[in-house]
Structure 1
C-alpha cells in the first residue's frame, strides 16, 4: 500500500531537480489562444450566442410565433408598453389628419417643412412632429379633438385596458377507468381523436373524416404555393403522391397537431367567457395562473395576462411578433445551418481528400475528376433545384447546402496528405505496422488541423449567408420559423418606415460572423505547428 502511494506521487524531474510538466498539442494551442485577445473575445461571443440559441425555450421571452395583429410595427421601447405605443400611433395619425384638415394650427414654415418631409417620403419625421406639436397644443388648451376622434381614442383606451391574452400551458386528461392523469400532448392520435369526439359529443367517424380532409387541403395548399399554374388533374395526381409519401404515420402526426390545436382553442374560448365575467364584476387580478375544468375528464392549466401590457425592447414585426424572440430563435436556425452544414462538408471532404491524397494513382484520379465535374456545376442553382424538387423544409436545406460544399475541403486535405505522406513519422508508423486508416486519421489529419479549422470557421458564416440568400428568394426557412436571413429579407421592403426590423437582426448576424472569423484566425495561429516556438 505504501509503495503504491509513493509510486502515485512520483513526477518527472530534470537534471536540476525541477518538475517537468507534460505538454500536448491541445494544451499548447490553448496557451497560445489565450494570448490572442480578439480570438478569445470572438470565442466568448460565439459561446454566448450558442447558449442563447440552445436554451431559448427556457428564456423569459414571448413566443416567437405568436401573432398579435394589434401590435404590428411597434417600435422598440424599454419604458413604454404595447398599449402606450398603440395609443401613441393612433394619436400620431389623428394629429396628422387634424393638420391636413387645418384644425391643428402650425406656422407656414412648419407646414412647408411637413410638406417637404412628405415629398421626401420621410414619414416618421412627419408623425413625430405632428404628435409633439399636437400634444403641446393640447396641453396648452389650444387644440381639442373632434367628438368622433375622441370616441375613437376612448374605444382604443377601453380596448387597451380590458383585452387579455390566454395561453393554454398544458391539457390533462383523467382516465375514468384507472384514475390516472395523462398529458394530452403525449398521447397518440387515436386517443386524442376519441377525447375530442367526446368533448364535442359527436361520432368519432365524423372527426376522422374531417381531420383527413383538413390534412388533404393543407397538403394541396402547400402544393399550390410551391408549384403554381398546374392543372386540376396535375394537382390531384401530385396530391395523391404527397399523401402516399406522408403515410399513415405522417397523417397521424399532422392530425394530432390539428386536434390539439382545436382542443386548446375550445378551452381558450371557455376561459375567455369566465374571465370576461370576472372583469365585468371587478374580480379579475392579472396575471392569472390557474387550472380550469373543461369536463369530467379534461382539465387545463392556463395563464392570462393583459394583452397590451407587453414590452417589446426590440419592437415587433409586420405580424405583431416580438423581434427579440424572433432574433433569438432565428439564431437557432442560422447557427444550426452553419454548424451542421460545415461539419457535414468537412467530414466528407476529410475522408475523400485523405483517401485520394494517400492512395494516389487511379483512386486519386477518379476522385479528383469527380470533384472537377462538381466544381463545374453552378452551386446555388443546384441548391435551388434540390429545394424545389424535395420541398422547402429545414432538413432539406441542411442537405442542399452541404451537398457540394465539401469540394474545397477535399482538395485542401488531399494536398496536405500528399505533402505529409513521406514524412518521417509516417514512415515510422508504417514500419511499426500501423494500418492505412490509422496513419491517415491519427497522424496525417491531426497535422492538417490548422488548415481545416480555418476553412471550417470561414464556412460557418458562408453557410449563414447562403441561407440568407435562399430565404430572400423564398426558398429558405419557411414561416413560422425564422432565421437571421429571413428576418432581414422580410424587413427590406419597410426599412425606411420600420428600420428596427432590419437593423437588429442585421447587427446580430454581423456580430456573430465577425466573432467566428476572429475565433477562426485565433484557432489557426494556435494550432499552427510551424509557429509554435515563436512565443
Structure 2
C-alpha cells in the first residue's frame, strides 16, 4: 500500500484563501538594502577585500617580506622584468655621467634644460631625458660607451642572466638504522644537533657550546637594543634574568632556529653552485621545483627561479619588496584590526551596556560614571601610552584600540535595554522564571541587533584609520609585518621620486573605507523602518 507523506509544514491562509508569507526585520532590511546600489557595491567590494586578505597565502604572489636589495624602488610595470629595469637604471646613470663629462653631446638648450631640472629637483625628468637621448645617439652611432662603462654594463648583464633565488621549503633526515624519514623542522634541538655536527665534522659538545654562546649573544644584543645606555654589569645581570625567564625550552627554540638557518644556508649555497653550472650548460629550466640529495641521509625540497626575471605589477619599496604583495598582506592586517577591534569593543560594550540598562541602580550609576570619565580622557593619547608601555606588537595594538572604543556602544545598548526591559515579552520571560542573563542575552540584546550591526559596520573604518594614524607615528604595526597605514607612512619621505609607493596603498585603503561606509550607511537605512528606501 502506498502511503502519501503529509506535508508537515502548515500554511497560514487569510480570508481570501491566500497564503500568508511571514516577514521579519532581517528579510525586510535585505529587501531595502538591495535597492541601494551603492550599499550593494560597497558590500561586494568589502567581500572581495576580505577574501583576498583571508586567502593571501594561496595567491600566486611573491613573499611580502622577501628583501632583494637589487630591486629597490623599481617602478610599476606590466611586461618589463626587474632585470630590464635594473639595466635601464644603470644606463641612465652612465648616460648622465657621459653628459657631465661632455662625451654625450646635446644642444645648449637641452643642456640648460637639464641644469634647470637639477636645480628644481626634478630628477625623474633628468633620468628620462638622459636615457632617451643616450639610446638615440647609441643607435645612431654618434655615442659609444667607454671601456670602463662597457665592463660595468657587461658585469650587470651577467648578474641579471645568472643570479638565482633559491628557497629551501623543507629538509628531511633519513635515519640510517631504522630508515625513518623525519622533517628537520619538526625535530627537537637535541635531535638536530648531532645531524649538523656530523655534516660539519665537529663534535656535538663543541657545537653545543658554540650554539649556547650564539644564543647568549643574540639575547644580549636584543637587550641592548631595547634598553640602551646601561653598564656592562647591568647588561650581564639582565641577561641572566632574561635567560631564566626564557627557560630551557625558550633557549632551545632559539638555538634550533639558528641551526636550521645554518643548514638552510648551506643547502642554498650548494644548490646555487649546482644550478649555476646547469645555466652555463643550458640545461636549467626555471621556475624550478624539485627534491635534491644534500648528503647520504639529508634531502631537501627547493624552489628556484631567476632573481631578476620577476615582474612587479605595482613596483617595489625601499627594500626591494613587492608592493602588490605588501598591499595584500597589509590589507590582511588592517582588515583584521578593523574587524577584531570592532568585535572586541562591541562585545564589551554590549555586556556592560546591557547590565547597566537592565539592572539599573548602583550598577548603572557606577558603569555610566566610568564611561563619563573615559569620555573625558584623550582617546588617542591613551592608545599611544598603552602602546609605549606594553610594547609595539599587533596583539597590544588590538587590545589598546578595543579597550577604549566600547563607550559609545555601551551607551547605545543601555538605552535600548532600558526601553525594552518593561516590555510584555520581558515581563513574560521574567514571570516564567528566566534568569537575568537569559533575559538580557536571549530576549533584549537580539532586539537591539539592528542598531548594533549598523554601528559595527561604521566602526570598522574608524579602527583602520586609527591604526593608520598610529603606524604613521611609528607606533603601529612593526616590520616585517605591514598595514596600509605603515605602507603610507613609509612612502611619504620619497613620495616625489617614487609616487607609486604612496598611491597604491593609499588607493587600496581609500576604496575599502568608502565601500565600508557606503555599506554601513545602506544598513542604517535598511534597518530603519522609516527609511526612504522602504518598499
Q: Same fold (TM over 0.5)?
A: yes
* TM-score relative to the length of structure 2: 0.94
C-alpha contact 2:75 2:315 (8 A) present in aligned 1:
yes
* TM-score relative to the length of structure 1: 0.94
* Distance change (3 Å), C-alpha of 1:506 and 1:211: farther
Q: Distance in 1 between matches of 2:76 and 2:197?
A: 45
Q: In the TM superposition, what is the alpha-carbon distance from 1:533 to its structure 2 partner?
A: 9.3
Residue 259 of structure 2: SS of its match in structure 1? helix
* Distance change (3 Å), C-alpha of 1:2 and 1:449: farther
C-alpha contact 1:450 1:525 (8 A) present in aligned 2:
no
Q: In the TM superposition, what is the alpha-carbon distance from 1:10 to its structure 2 partner?
A: 4.5
Q: In the TM superposition, what is the alpha-carbon distance from 1:345 to its structure 2 partner?
A: 0.8
* Distance change (3 Å), C-alpha of 1:282 and 1:534: closer
Is residue 92 of structure 1 aligned with residue 102 of structure 2? no
The answer for the alignment partner of 1:248 in structure 2 is 248
Cα distance per residue 1:238-289 (max 9 Å; x no partner) = 4444434333333333333322222111110111121222233333232322
Of the structure 1 ranges 176-185 and 123-132, higher mean CA displacement relative to structure 2 is found in 176-185
Of the structure 1 ranges 197-206 and 75-84, higher mean CA displacement relative to structure 2 is found in 197-206
Q: Distance in 2 between matches of 1:267 and 1:323?
A: 29
Equivalence map 1:399-414=2 (5 Å): 399-414=399-414
Is residue 360 of structure 1 aligned with residue 360 of structure 2? yes
Residue 315 of structure 2: SS of its match in structure 1? coil
Residue 179 of structure 2: SS of its match in structure 1? coil
Cα distance per residue 1:54-100 (max 9 Å; x no partner) = 11111111111111111111111001000100001111111111111
* Distance change (3 Å), C-alpha of 1:408 and 1:248: farther
The answer for the alignment partner of 1:422 in structure 2 is 422
Residue 5 of structure 1: SS of its match in structure 2? coil
Is residue 287 of structure 1 aligned with residue 287 of structure 2? yes
Of the structure 1 ranges 428-437 and 356-365, higher mean CA displacement relative to structure 2 is found in 428-437
Q: In the TM superposition, what is the alpha-carbon distance from 1:312 to its structure 2 partner?
A: 0.4
Aligned length: 535
Q: Distance in 1 between matches of 2:87 and 2:240?
A: 50
C-alpha contact 2:35 2:533 (8 A) present in aligned 1:
no
* Distance change (3 Å), C-alpha of 1:58 and 1:533: closer
Residue 23 of structure 2: SS of its match in structure 1? coil
The answer for the alignment partner of 1:326 in structure 2 is 326
The answer for the alignment partner of 2:39 in structure 1 is 39
* Distance change (3 Å), C-alpha of 1:254 and 1:25: farther
Equivalence map 1:446-465=2 (5 Å): 446-465=446-465
* Distance change (3 Å), C-alpha of 1:482 and 1:361: same
Cα distance per residue 1:481-516 (max 9 Å; x no partner) = 111111111111111111111111111111111111
Residue 405 of structure 1: SS of its match in structure 2? coil
The answer for the alignment partner of 2:70 in structure 1 is 70
C-alpha contact 1:39 1:518 (8 A) present in aligned 2:
yes
Q: Distance in 2 between matches of 1:237 and 1:520?
A: 55
The answer for the alignment partner of 2:343 in structure 1 is 343
Cα distance per residue 1:419-447 (max 9 Å; x no partner) = 22233433343334333222222232223
Residue 61 of structure 2: SS of its match in structure 1? coil
Of the structure 1 ranges 220-229 and 125-134, higher mean CA displacement relative to structure 2 is found in 220-229
Of the structure 1 ranges 330-339 and 108-117, higher mean CA displacement relative to structure 2 is found in 108-117
Of the structure 1 ranges 379-388 and 285-294, higher mean CA displacement relative to structure 2 is found in 379-388
Root mean square deviation, CA, Å: 2.2
Q: Distance in 1 between matches of 2:293 and 2:226?
A: 43
Q: In the TM superposition, what is the alpha-carbon distance from 1:190 to its structure 2 partner?
A: 2.8
The answer for the alignment partner of 2:387 in structure 1 is 387
The answer for the alignment partner of 1:307 in structure 2 is 307
Is residue 165 of structure 1 aligned with residue 170 of structure 2? no
* Distance change (3 Å), C-alpha of 1:480 and 1:208: farther
C-alpha contact 1:117 1:126 (8 A) present in aligned 2:
yes
C-alpha contact 1:193 1:207 (8 A) present in aligned 2:
yes
Cα distance per residue 1:335-387 (max 9 Å; x no partner) = 11111111111101110011011111101111122222333333333323333
Q: Distance in 2 between matches of 1:433 and 1:530?
A: 36
Q: Distance in 1 between matches of 2:533 and 2:345?
A: 32
C-alpha contact 1:92 1:128 (8 A) present in aligned 2:
yes
Q: Distance in 2 between matches of 1:177 and 1:20?
A: 76
C-alpha contact 1:449 1:527 (8 A) present in aligned 2:
no
The answer for the alignment partner of 2:182 in structure 1 is 182
The runs of 5 or more residues in structure 1 that have no matched partner are none
The answer for the alignment partner of 1:134 in structure 2 is 134
